[in-house]
Copies of this chain bind each other. A is one copy, B any other.
Amino acid sequence: FLGSSAAVANDKLIELSKSNENYVMPGKDYTSDNYSKMDQINTKNVKDLRVSWTFSTGLLNGHEGTPLVVDGVMYINSSFPNNVYALDLDNPGKIKWQYKPKQDPAARSVACCDLVNRGLAYFPGGGDTPALIINNQLDGNVVALKAEDGSLYWKVENSDIKVGSTLTVAPYVVKDMVIVGSSGAELGVRGYATAYSVHDGGQVWRMYATGPDEEIGIGDDFNSANPQYGQKGLGLATWEGDAWKIGGGTNWGWYAYDPDLNLIYYGSGNPSPWNETMRPGDNKWTMTIMARDVDNGELKFGYQKTPHDEWDYAGVNVIMLSDQQIEGKDMKLLTHPDRNGIIYTLDRTNGDLVRADFLDDTVNVWTHVDMETGIPVRDPEYGTRMDHKGTDICPSAMGYHDQAHDSYDPEKELFYLAINHICMDWEPFMLPYRAGQFFVGATLSMYPGPKGDRQNYLGLGQVKAYDADSSSYKWSVMERFAAWGGTLATAGDLVFYGTLDGYFKARNSETGELLWKFKMPSGAIGYPMTYEHNGTQYVALYYGVGGWPGVGLVFDLDDPTAGLGAVGAFRELQNWTQQGGGLLVFSLD
């Protein structure tokens, strides 16, 4: 029965994802473009946008992701211990149900970057299985809750916190499976993605980023269109000895899915440890844009953006699917603003590299990307190695783009990118691997990029509208502390985003002009979503500063190199916002 109920469930989810009333997955639909066709709120009236209602989650660690809305019910995720709240939108003043897991507090001490969670998944029901809300818990457990009443339907352990493996990624439902990633590359965790059956949590497939071909899902036609990206055997051959077993390549970012191609896309993260001297080789398939057959996990293509990473340019960032004409040719594309300072556009059918543009003209680690081989060419001055203290490296380890969920307007063919503007000094050191302990091997100092205010530690971010066809930016604006959470684009010619210092902003998506802003209780590291209820368009955004840039505030740290260097870069943030955790919902009414 799996086959047919799976197809029905997928059809239902796709249908829901296309409606205005529902918001059923990260990025709104499988293209992950976080674009809404609604235009009730638009450039003319957005100045009148006001808070309609609010909800505090009762938790203070950073709030990432965005809520889901299905059939008039909103599902809210929250930071550790990852409570879930269901609110009936006809009366959001009362909690319909709540799920408050008791988690092993040990999970707290092995999370790298605050105790965040990037969102929930929804399964619309199918076969004998009811509609489900799926929640990834920091302690590595995946739980499926009945959407109706929040009761536990199944639970499965995905990650073992004893070896430092946590779970912050939003689960992702495709057909009757839920895809779950992994975290912990700062502790030597070998990354993997797993597909579980939504019916009972049974494992359908699990694929790793490193190791033997079978475990990576590499078959005969892997990278057949682009053999220069590398083919068989490299998950072992590009590592010294057993280093691949503690080699990182987790995936804690975002997914996209193409139902026609039956491929799921995501990026694998940084190799472990950060100290490059300790792991000679390309370290495949970390830092890779992966396209897998969703039914069996097989890797159709893999393009490694940063071979042998020297900077923690974890490659997990958002991937958005678009169909555009490039140089006059209709193409099925995926676009990925990477942490290494380059925004990549690939032919998503076969992995062909179509565009590789700098996210900002201040990137200095690369001179360019060789479009034939796909290999970025380095400036050794800004490399990191034991015999060289790297200074003024741009981007910093946070990348020029981190976990932000961006958006894409298919009418304008523009991507709205939430960009970091942070550079760094990097001093490596050697250290032994110990299971469940941090395994990094570098001391970082971070500070604003060249366009920022280095005196006052402001100007740490940008927002830009990117045109892939012309490899250019339609507009870009500086931000005081960065729009860490990402953007929402709407047919109202608007782009929305929240900033780390707590401003929710709306700009004209054509021109970048600031049309509206609102000071939220605490800084935002989630991304906005929009939905319609009873004919009214609402826009919602979590507040709750945290994430990697917020660790100084969250854990009350002072040493500028603490928090893997984040404390120094964001030293001024505490003078603009304090912790909080909740949701604001806006409308014109």
A residues whose Cβ falls under 8 Å from a Cβ of B: 50-51, 53-58, 60, 85, 92-95, 98, 501-503, 518-522, 543, 553, 574-582
Give the docked Cα–Cα distance between A87 and B427 (Å). Answer: 39
Contacts of A51 in B (CB 8 A): 50-51, 518
The one of B57, B501, B522, B577 in contact with A578, judged by C-beta atoms closer than 8 angstroms, is B57
- Asked if B519 and A58 make an inter-chain contact with CB atoms under 8 angstroms apart, the answer reads no
Distance (whole angstroms) from the CB of A244 to the closest CB of chain B: 42
Knowing A93-B519, A502-B93, A519-B93, the reply to whether A579 touches B54 (Cβ < 8 A) is: no
B53, A577: Cβ atoms closer than 8 Å: no
Q: A50-B51, A51-B51, A543-B56 are in contact. Are A92 and B578 (CB under 8 A)?
A: no
Q: How many copies does the complex hold?
A: 2
A580 contacts B58, C-beta separation under 8 Å? yes
Q: Do A54 and B576 touch across chains, with their CB atoms under 8 A apart?
A: no
Complex Cα gap A520–B93 (Å) = 9
Expressed in whole angstroms, the minimum distance between the Cβ of A537 and any Cβ of chain B is 17
Besides the known contacts A94-B575, A580-B580, 17 further A-B residue pairs in the complex with CB atoms under 8 A apart: A50-B50, A50-B51, A51-B51, A54-B520, A54-B521, A55-B519, A93-B501, A93-B502, A93-B503, A93-B519, A94-B576, A95-B574, A95-B576, A95-B578, A521-B580, A580-B581, A580-B582
Q: In the complex, what distance in Å separates the CA atom of A485 from the CA atom of B54?
A: 19
Residue of B nearest to A523 (CB): B56
Asked whether, in the complex, the Cβ of A582 is within 8 Å of the Cβ of B521, the reply is: yes
Q: Which residues of chain B are near A98, meaning CB under 8 Å?
A: 574-575
Which residues from B are CB-within-8-Å of A582?
521-522, 580
Of all chain B residues, which has the CB nearest A586? B51
A56 to B53, CA, bound (A): 16
CB distance from A500 to the nearest CB of B (A): 12
The answer on a CB contact under 8 Å between A58 and B522 is yes
User: Considering the chains assembled together, what is the distance between the CA atoms of A94 and B519 in angstroms?
Assistant: 10
Across the interface, which residues of B come within 8 angstroms of A60, CB to CB?
A: 58, 60
A391 to B64, CA, bound (A): 49
C-alpha spacing A51/B543, complex, angstroms: 15
Chain B residue numbers with a CB within 8 Å of A578 are 55-58, 85, 95
Residue in contact with A56 in the complex, picked from B50, B501, B579, CB distance below 8 Å: B579
**Which B-chain residue is minimally distant from A501 (CB atoms)?**
B93
Instruction: Please name the 3 residue pairs, one residue from A and one from B, whose CB atoms are nearest each other, closest first.
Output: A56-B580, A58-B578, A56-B521
CB distance from A47 to the nearest CB of B (A): 11
- In the complex, the chain B residue whose C-beta lies closest to that of A553 is B58
CB-nearest residue of chain B relative to A583? Answer: B521
In Å, the complex CA distance between A224 and B574 comes to 57
A91 to chain B, nearest CB (A): 10
26 of the cross-chain contacts (CB-CB < 8 Å) are A50-B51, A51-B518, A54-B520, A54-B521, A55-B519, A55-B578, A56-B521, A56-B577, A56-B578, A56-B579, A58-B60, A58-B579, A58-B580, A60-B60, A93-B502, A93-B503, A93-B519, A95-B575, A98-B574, A98-B575, A521-B521, A521-B582, A522-B582, A580-B580, A580-B581, A580-B582
List B contacts of A543 (CB < 8 A).
Answer: 56
